[in-house]
Amino acid sequence: MQTLTVQELDRRLKSGEILQLVDVRSPDEYRAGHIPGAINIPMDRCEARLDDLHASVPVVLICQSGRRASMTHELLSAHRADMMVLEGGTAAWMAQGLPVVRDTVARWSLERQTRLVIGILVLSTSIASLFWPPAIAVPIFMGAGLIFAGLTDICGLGLLLAKMPWNRPQTPSPCNPKPATSR
DSSP conformation class of 70: H
The values of phi and psi at residue 83, to 5°, are: -100, 145
- Write down all domains in the chain, each with its CATH number in brackets: 2-95 (3.40.250.10), 110-167 (no CATH)
Active-site residue set? 63
Q: What is the pLDDT of residues 71-97, one digit of tens each?
A: 999 999 888 889 999 999 999 999 999
pLDDT of residue 86: 97
Q: Is 150 helix (H, G, I), strand (E, B) or coil?
A: helix
pTM: 0.64
Q: Which amino acid is at 72?
A: T
Q: What is the pLDDT of residues 88-147, one digit of tens each?
A: 999 999 999 999 998 766 567 778 889 999 999 999 999 999 999 999 999 999 999 999
